[in-house]
Structure 1
């Protein structure tokens, strides 16, 4: 597996190659719709997706609803979360004419690639995957077959459209390496069909949750993009800080205070230290007020567009219908090539 330093160097080279010839690249990106999208999603991935879209790179954006099955608490609300995510994508500026937005469960040919791909990896290789380990530890349940095969499903997501570029953070590099391995093994065993996708390491900041941990739906520490201003204020008021009046940025010793400073800094385009210096001895009440205003001002335009889009109840369904149709055409063509290569045409 590539070292992070090597991957970073190649990512820097890719950035220039993409700028010179964006139409030579096809991106697959997305997420599991286990809850509302939040500020972490916005700064961590949506901003990068918008940049790639604007640069002219063709993008496929998957809402991996089949991968929500491993999260039993989220599955009953998966339709709500999918529709909410699409509203956020559109409100943020994702253009369905340039970016194909689709759902896992609506593309049978994509999921059918899972079987031949599973034959190309070992159980040991799957068990070593960091995401499988982390998800298993967080679930507190026995390892399911679906969770174990999660990395192969992600490979199918990327390869069904012959994606050759995957924007990722450092933690997701193993998924790209697994996809490259599967593509290489398939090409060697059968026929040269799949590109070996490359990782474009994003420089997006990690957005802390309101408790200082990583912002996450599962931790309940997130500021959702679709929250109302009042809901945002309430969430920030609940943040645990401390009794020191002097505001200082110290994530280890003062996680709550530092999380609020980081959140305000991202929304204001400043550094946490600069905001702390301005607040001085104003105390946590002033910090919470400043953070609330910063977040609500930053998201005002997004929320207004989202609210307007939500008035047409059929619009999101239409976007998904068109995206699913496009993804199905691409997936069926790829599956036909795979079946011919494997000799399974009758």
Structure 2
């Protein structure tokens, strides 16, 4: 008997073929919280796949979830800078705002109004079982804010307000999407068919380590931001802690710094870590850092050049957001009208 994971992979493979044949049948909702600059982990983990789907002809919607910044922190931080930075990276990566919708969470009231009926469809126990909520609960010692506890429902509203039927996810994110599917099923069963059941499209997401060997994260300060200059990248890599062993080997457990540099170089040059290590031999960490710096800077050269050009005209960035927010509001208003009609709250 196949495991549930195997079934999910099989379904995703079939879905990938269907999307390639009929991209116009699908709408994708994806995005992130603007908690800091986007980095290489975002590029290899999500941005590259989004651009692929967008260029294939799938309708794509990008939510910059600014409201969700405060789910697990005390302030919004440099929110405007981070939002504008995310738009710059989307555009530089190849997203065309004429055919994709880029919008901010806080600018779409009807989307957020879906939280009320959606919250009535889930139990507290179900929310506590969500992987993100469980992880944050453990980290916080049990002191969850109401916003963080209801985070899975916020995600459901993000996906369902535009009736997205395709969500690119890594294997570890499938349980997050399942909560959205449950909410859609329960709403439809209670009030009538309004929402699709969004399907997960599994992405081959490589794990991009930070420069210290841990997961690349804005909060760890170990990331190579897409917005860094070549000199800033070289400085960040130069400061990476390695070890005194001159022979370069790939061993993430005992040599996290060296191995993180090898993986970064491998991803950016489409090579394998062991191949790079063998080519360096006993050249030492200095040679590895030089090679990694060159690989990263060459890989990001076009993205950074295009990003710098776009950054000269922030009025254009703001216009992209205004137009995206207008499109998202029109969609959300229509969906909310359908929801109110189904629930009998049109007066």
**TM-score, reference length from structure 1:** 0.97
Question: 2: CA distance between counterparts of 1:238 and 1:251?
Answer: 18
Q: Tell me, what secondary structure is at the counterpart of 2:77?
A: helix
Question: 2: CA distance between counterparts of 1:144 and 1:174?
Answer: 21
Question: 1: CA distance between counterparts of 2:314 and 2:34?
Answer: 19
Task: Tell me by how many angstroms 1:154 deviates.
Answer: 0.2
Task: Tell me by how many angstroms 1:184 deviates.
Answer: 0.2
Match of 2:34 in 1: 33
Match of 1:79 in 2: 80
Asked if structure 1 preserves the Cα contact closer than 8 Å seen for 2:35 and 2:77, the reply is no
Match of 1:61 in 2: 62
Match of 2:340 in 1: 339
Q: Deviations along 1:265-311, whole A, 9 cap, x unmatched?
A: 01111011100000000011110111111111111111111111011
Distance 1:74 1:43, change over 3 A: farther
User: What aligned pairs does 1:37-186 form with structure 2 within 5 A after superposition?
Assistant: 37-72=38-73, 75-138=76-139, 142-186=143-187
Q: Tell me, what secondary structure is at the counterpart of 1:239?
A: coil
Question: 2: CA distance between counterparts of 1:344 and 1:124?
Answer: 28
Q: Tell me, what secondary structure is at the counterpart of 1:69?
A: helix
Question: 2: CA distance between counterparts of 1:135 and 1:11?
Answer: 29
Asked if structure 1 preserves the Cα contact closer than 8 Å seen for 2:164 and 2:198, the reply is yes
Question: 2: CA distance between counterparts of 1:31 and 1:76?
Answer: 15
Match of 1:230 in 2: 231
Task: Tell me by how many angstroms 1:141 deviates.
Answer: 7.4
Asked if structure 2 preserves the Cα contact closer than 8 Å seen for 1:34 and 1:74, the reply is no
Q: Tell me, what secondary structure is at the counterpart of 1:333?
A: helix
Identify unmatched segments of 5+ residues in structure 2: none
Question: 1: CA distance between counterparts of 2:122 and 2:200?
Answer: 20
Q: Runs (4+) of structure 1 moved beyond 6 Å?
A: none
Q: How many residues align?
A: 345
**TM-score, reference length from structure 2:** 0.97
Task: Tell me by how many angstroms 1:218 deviates.
Answer: 1.1
Q: Deviations along 1:191-250, whole A, 9 cap, x unmatched?
A: 101000000000121111111111111111100000011111111112111111000011
Match of 2:312 in 1: 311
Task: Tell me by how many angstroms 1:74 deviates.
Answer: 5.8
Q: Deviations along 1:83-129, whole A, 9 cap, x unmatched?
A: 00100110110111221000000000000001100000000000000
Distance 1:257 1:301, change over 3 A: same
Note the aligned Cα RMSD (angstroms): 1.2
Match of 1:286 in 2: 287
Asked if structure 2 preserves the Cα contact closer than 8 Å seen for 1:34 and 1:71, the reply is no
Task: Tell me by how many angstroms 1:131 deviates.
Answer: 0.8
Identify unmatched segments of 5+ residues in structure 1: none
Question: 2: CA distance between counterparts of 1:74 and 1:168?
Answer: 28
Question: 2: CA distance between counterparts of 1:156 and 1:232?
Answer: 37
Question: 1: CA distance between counterparts of 2:277 and 2:209?
Answer: 16
Distance 1:155 1:45, change over 3 A: same
Q: Tell me, what secondary structure is at the counterpart of 1:314?
A: helix
